[in-house]
Amino acid sequence: MARQFRGVSRLVFAPVIETSEGTTYGTPVAIVGVKAISREIASDNEQVWADNKLQDETFAGTTVTRSFETMRLDPAIEAKLLGATQVQVKAAGTDTPAVYAYATPADASNRPYFAFGYALHDGNVEQPCEIVWAFRGKVRSISKSANTIDAGTGSEGQSIEVSFAAPINKFTTTNESNLDLDLPVTADTDVDAWFSQVVTPDNVATVMA
């Protein structure tokens, strides 16, 4: 039966570590309170006409942009995503954690790359219909706005815009620099295993066995 997308969950991100020896990923960190997820795939194309009919179509490289609508982000999470500089305000005490402020760098080109994972639902609150890992994204922007408290019930969350680029190193299994991996969920899919680490074409058979 055809279904529609209705529901999102399990938004996480993990650092991308790229070296001359290959690409590895850090431990996934949860972004609490995801409200909406959108993905836009763009492939510019040009039609080639000859002999009065369409002969071919030429495509440019594929670009992927994702938007994650969330509740108010933990400032430490926002700082990681933006590559902000952590400034210690107060050292940790016996029973209290250290206090930090976060200074946003002026040059966004040095922001780190992250892999992002998330789940899409088709109306079933407990069981996703698709689970995704996207491998090499850099945060383009994070919105932050607040309105006065008034007689209404309105409140503001945040929006994370991420641009995804092809990984530097090809995956061995596909021999391609794939942008993401999408797994349709079945009754026996171990969803927790999917989000315990970054899942790629090279390790998906092992992780999801």
Q: In terms of DSSP H, where are the helices of 31-84?
A: 75-82
Q: Which domains can be identified in the chain, with CATH numbers?
A: 8-207 (2.30.110)
- Cβ distance 131 to 185 under 8 Å? yes
End-to-end CA distance of the chain: 27
Q: What is the pLDDT of residues 115-165, one digit of tens each?
A: 999 999 999 999 999 999 999 999 999 999 988 898 988 888 999 999 999
Q: What is the pLDDT of residues 90-106, one digit of tens each?
A: 999 999 999 999 999 99
At residue 2, the pLDDT reads 63
Q: Could you give the CA distance from residue 149 to residue 45 in angstroms, rounded to a whole number?
A: 48
- Tell me which DSSP letter residue 205 carries: H
- Cβ distance 157 to 173 under 8 Å? no
Q: Which two tokens stand for residue 192?
A: 């927790």
